[in-house]
Amino acid sequence: MHDTLQCLSPVDGSIYVQRPLATGADIRAALQAAVIAQRDWAHVAIDERQRVLSAAIDHFMQHTAAIAEEIDEGVDVVEVEYSGEVAELKV
């Protein structure tokens, strides 16, 4: 079993990005952390929620060009290799 996910460039077949795959323990820990975070967030006052979310929006607005570049590399097809299989995803 592979422990990484590779996204290959359809232009030249090079590795565009490679990320480690989560283990079952990683997933369980992430889910447990999400449950705790949601419980904590439920107790946050509405004015503090507004401040946090406004700061997140401000960050996104200040970095729209970089975010857009990451989302759209001008590629119509992305190849994903996992467990030796290659699938083409139309985007």
Neighbours of 30 (CB within 10 A): 11
pLDDT at residue 85, rounded to an integer: 53
Q: How far, in Å, CA of 83 to CA of 24, rounded?
A: 17
Residues 6, 72, 14: CA angle, nearest 5 degrees: 30
> Could you read off the pLDDT of 11-64 as tens digits, one per residue?
888 888 888 999 999 999 999 999 999 999 999 999 999 999 999 999 989 998
* CA–CA separation, 59 and 21 (whole Å): 28
Determine the pLDDT at residue 12: 87
What's the confidence (pLDDT) of residue 79?
54
**pLDDT band (50, 70, 90) for residue 91:** very low
* pTM over 0.85, yes/no: no
